[in-house]
Structure 1
Amino acid sequence: MMKTIRLLVAAVLAMAIGASIAGFLGDTNMTRPITSKQAEVPFLHGLSTGAVAGQSALASLERADEWINSPPLSASVLQGKVVLIDFWTYTCINWLRAQPYVRAWEEKYRDQGLVVIGVHSPEFSFEKDLNNVRRAAKDLGVDYPIAVDSDHAIWRAFNNHYWPALYFIDSQGHVRHHHFGEGSYEQSEKIIQELLAEAGAGGFDSRPLSVDVRGIEAAADWDNLKSPENYLGHARTRNFASSGELVLDEPGSYEVPERLRVNEWGLSGDWTVRQENAVLNKSNGKLAYRFHARDLHLVMGPAATGTSVRFRVLIDGQPPGAAHGIDIDEKGEGTVTEQRLYQLIRQPHPIVDRQFEIEFLDSDVEVFAFTFG
């Protein structure tokens, strides 16, 4: 029997998001990164960096499935080192925007005894693929040790709920501070310096780093960011506006309304909406979203490894021109070649409500989530 849903679960999903912000521990599939305005809310910034006294955590690194860029690192190997644990997943825009700072700290302080370990705890199933993680690490310049945490064993040991999440561990192996989300970079660097000084390190420049961020790593335009992250699989989506009902796990035919309200989205064409993504069954299917933000990103990939899918982007019915992101040209044309986050729009000021549309010229593309900046 064909299964359907009327998407009257928006309130439940909103509650799930609120619970994840508060630190709700549950199924990792229901966790969220610190997203959109959440990462900049003043009270969250006030809580996001805190001291955690006397908690030993390094032993959990032995639960890693695999190590990249390093042999396995155990508590005994790390004894006497100041350790920065960075929980990440490679399609998370919030982690991508924080990554330049972590990279810079690792380079500046490694000779003083700082060890940065990226714990890759995936959000989407394709992020469990070791080849995908290796490729992403190379493409994104993550050359410090990576503990692959595909089953979230280390994530659970730290009682973590966010991407990105930083845990600052002193030379005695105790978690002394943590920071969730973007921002507070000078404060985080000061904590690193204090822990290194406690361990007897010296000779480093105490002035905060000036980090050059550009492209997809540039900070969000928080003042104009009014669109939150939204997922396209039926387990976590909201504000679906195509005509009719959303069909679960079976092919369905859809049409996008001529005009969407802000933060509504829709499909046109023949799609199968699965738990974590929507899959295009026939060529020339479309995906639309009305948004208010400088940047629009879409996590997507070809359904089969080694294939590619051509697409064309319109914004308010026209090619994006100067508003194109790094993964398309001024005509809005691009190609999906791998499973990752694609930056499709970076519009110049003034920032206004815009209707985004992407048409896939080939079938068999999987779309997972929209994020904004």
Structure 2
Amino acid sequence: MNTRQFLFAIATLVTLSASCMGPDTPSLQLDASSAEVGGDAGIDWPPAPDFAGIKTWLNSPPLSLAGLKGKIVVVDFWTYSCVNCIRTLPYLRTWHEAYSDLGLVIVGVHRPEFDFEKVESNVQEALAREGITWPIALDNESATWDAYHNRYWPRKFLIDHLGRIRRDVIGEGQYAETEAWIRELLTESGVDVSQIPLGPSAGPAPVRHRITRELYAGTRWALGNYIGNAPFSSATGFSEPDIYRDDEFYLHGDWRLTPESAIHARETSGFDDFFSLVYRAASVNVVVAPGRALPVTLLVTHADEPIPIALRGTDVVLDDSGQTVLIVDRPRMYSVIAAGNVHTGKLRVYAKSEGLTLHTFTFGR
């Protein structure tokens, strides 16, 4: 059975609604008939592909699945600016702390979505910021990603002590089930986990309001006032429209588009140029990079006013004049709106520094 064939046979838990999809990876059709914990007898579980093409390991010497045989391994595909990945980290941290001494090894396979995520120092800073201490493999060439025929962030493959894939979890959620599977696999390997208390689950499922989908900048995608997929490398003046459409954002002023970003194309004395959108969500995050200047200050408004404290994201601060601003000092995801409920709002982010680079907006309930 080859690698592609065995992935068709895995009993899989699929939670696609809370994941990011890689745009350039061939589609993978999976058998989504998830077997119950303890109901796996007689299934011919496939061997897991080894880590491939990894030139840099963080928090660990180089690892191989052959060297980890006898351990329970969670292979976690992630990237540090992905909001869906970030929201899974507290659960990974809990499992690492609870079970690593009993034979669980979490290996984060960091496959970048954007070029700045290929920079080792940026990943190291993210590990320190998020408190990640388990092994991280930098999969900058996508070799391990391709070996698993993956196309989602985050995605977790649970591998038993014999090196076989036993579970495949796509996206956020199913934390209690995943921990139960980890405990089951540890028990199968001869480890007593009865004295280890269960970690926190995600709690009751929230009411599912429709929220704005993830929005990307750049020529691979269409913006509200730009149709994607056209050569578009020179600086161009954009104008804000009178009417905003759902699930789109808009540029105003001078911007240059690359395949994966919109770059502010001039230095201005005031906050004349901006990107903006009408959103429906409880939280709004933006992935931006500072460009040449460090740090870069962005003015952010909600309904053309400073963001109210009840809506203010964790990265928004007040300047001396009482305006709400973001201080962008490295390429990463910044929290702009963090409310307790899904709501509709109009957000503008103003730039005056040339080179400020916008990659994506993400939204949460």
Bin of the TM-score, shorter chain as denominator length: 0.7 to 0.9
Give the match for residue 316 of structure 1: 303
Is structure 2 residue 82 aligned with structure 1 residue 88? no
CA deviation vs aligned residue, 1:241-286 (integer Å, no higher than 9, x gap): 379x987111100111244122221111110011000000123320
Match of 2:333 among 321, 329, 341: 341
Matched residue of 1:57: which SS?
coil
Match of 2:45 among 50, 54, 66: 54
Is structure 2 residue 316 aligned with structure 1 residue 328? yes
* Maintained 8 Å contact 1:84/1:115: yes
CA distance in 2, matches of 1:270, 1:155: 37
Q: What amino acid is the match of 1:226? A: I
Give the match for residue 352 of structure 1: 343
Q: TM-score, normalised by structure 1?
A: 0.81
Where do 1:24-103 residues align within 5 Å?
28-30=22-24, 47=32, 53-58=44-49, 60-103=50-93
CA distance in 2, matches of 1:189, 1:273: 43
After TM superposition, which residue ranges in structure 1, 4 or more long, deviate above 4 angstroms? 48-53, 219-222
Give the match for residue 255 of structure 1: 239
CA deviation vs aligned residue, 1:124-182 (integer Å, no higher than 9, x gap): 11111111111111111111011110011001111111110000000001111110001
* Maintained 8 Å contact 2:173/2:202: no
Matched residue of 1:127: which SS?
helix
* Maintained 8 Å contact 1:240/1:266: yes
Q: What amino acid is the match of 2:217? A: L
Measure how far apart 1:121 and its partner are: 0.7
* Maintained 8 Å contact 1:272/1:279: yes
CA deviation vs aligned residue, 1:312-357 (integer Å, no higher than 9, x gap): 11111111122110111253212111000011111344x4321110
* Maintained 8 Å contact 2:22/2:152: no
Is structure 2 residue 248 aligned with structure 1 residue 264? yes
Q: What amino acid is the match of 1:321? A: P
CA distance in 1, matches of 2:151, 2:33: 12
CA distance in 2, matches of 1:241, 1:132: 32
* Maintained 8 Å contact 2:74/2:159: yes
Give the match for residue 287 of structure 1: 275
Measure how far apart 1:229 and its partner are: 0.3
CA distance in 2, matches of 1:62, 1:152: 9
Matched residue of 2:281: which SS?
coil
Where do 1:181-192 residues align within 5 Å?
181-192=171-182
Identity score, percent: 31
Q: What amino acid is the match of 1:127? A: E
CA distance in 1, matches of 2:291, 2:185: 46
Match of 1:229 among 214, 218, 229: 214
Is structure 2 residue 281 aligned with structure 1 residue 297? no
Give the match for residue 113 of structure 2: 123
* Maintained 8 Å contact 1:84/1:168: yes
Give the match for residue 9 of structure 2: none
After the TM superposition, which of the residue ranges 351-360 and 107-116 deviates more from structure 2? 351-360
* Structure 2, unpaired ranges of 5+: 1-15
Give the match for residue 9 of structure 1: none
Measure how far apart 1:224 and its partner are: 3.4
* Maintained 8 Å contact 2:77/2:109: yes
Give the match for residue 112 of structure 1: 102
Give the match for residue 155 of structure 1: 145
Change (3 A) 1:156 1:180: same
Where do 1:189-204 residues align within 5 Å?
189-204=179-194
Q: TM-score, normalised by structure 2?
A: 0.82
Matched residue of 2:346: which SS?
strand
CA distance in 1, matches of 2:231, 2:345: 27
Matched residue of 1:293: which SS?
strand
CA distance in 2, matches of 1:205, 1:77: 28
Higher helix share: 1
CA distance in 1, matches of 2:205, 2:247: 18
- The RMSD of aligned alpha carbons is 2.9
